[in-house]
Amino acid sequence: MHPRSDAQPPLPSWLEPVRRGALAITADELTRFVPPEDAETREGAVLMLFGDGPQGPDLLLTERAHDMRSHPGQVSFPGGSIDPADPSPRHAALREAEEETGLDPSGVDVFAELPQLWLPPSNFAVTPVLGWWREETAVRVVDPAEVHAIYRVPIDELLDPQHRISVRHPSGWRGPAFLIGDDKDLILWGFTAGIISRLFDFLGWVRPWDPGNSRDLPDHMLVRRDDDRAPVWPPRPNTNFREP
């Protein structure tokens, strides 16, 4: 387990509740999946990067390549494995974000870390690292084999009840999701949607919405069943991030 940051870089006033909430929230308040104490896991880190975008406060998200072996086409925070050369999860999260989006990590102020969470399909114990994009730089798809597209999603759009849905997996798994993109036809679901949903709920930001508005996951977001190497999400039927 990694200690959560209590460093205090200056933040815009709208981010202060996020800092306080991130330092107070527990793993059980974020997810049902926490790293098992009696099993070896791989360690990873993701960057939950808040910025002041052209449409107001936003989050930086990436859409994974559609032909990846695990989590194809999923919208996620930049991130990946913690390498032996990484001195901390925050270093790994910033390094991965630079490799995936080309951002300059010197313009990012890390202000908190969430508890380690477990991603069962790939057996990753993941530390979400929260950052403020103090000095923004241009972002792009650095490697199309890993990233299909990059998005800056306004927080107000994530909170809009019209953009909130539940998704159904063929296994029976059901969880919270968001509609994003210019036409609101891209589904943000799974691990990333669970973190956003539960953290925003903890902060008291969530607006009433209809969890009964459900959709099936599109085929390109499902793991290919003919690939025996591929981890399958969800790991067990009817398990889920806590429902809204």
CATH topology of domain 13-221: Nucleoside Triphosphate Pyrophosphohydrolase (3.90.79)
DSSP label at residue 32: S
Residue 34 identity = V
Question: CB neighbours of 74 closer than 8 A, spacing ≥ 6?
Answer: 63, 64, 189, 190, 192, 221
Span 68-78, pLDDT tens digits: 666 667 899 99
Distance between CA atoms of 37 and 20, rounded to whole angstroms? 27
CB count within 10 Å of CB 205 equals: 15
Supply the pLDDT for residue 228: 37
pLDDT one digit per residue (tens) for the chain, 244 residues: 444 544 577 899 999 999 999 999 999 999 887 777 777 888 999 999 999 999 999 999 999 887 766 666 789 999 999 999 999 999 999 999 999 999 999 999 999 999 999 877 677 889 999 999 999 999 999 999 899 999 999 999 999 999 999 999 888 888 999 999 998 989 999 889 999 999 999 999 999 999 999 999 888 777 654 443 333 344 433 333 333 2
Span 2-58, pLDDT tens digits: 445 445 778 999 999 999 999 999 999 998 877 777 778 889 999 999 999 999 999
Q: Please report, for the chain, the start and end positions of each structural domain, with discontinuous segments joined by +.
A: 13-221
Work out the angle at residue 133's Cα, subtended by the Cα atoms of residues 63 and 160, and round it to the nearest 5 degrees.
60
SS3 127: strand
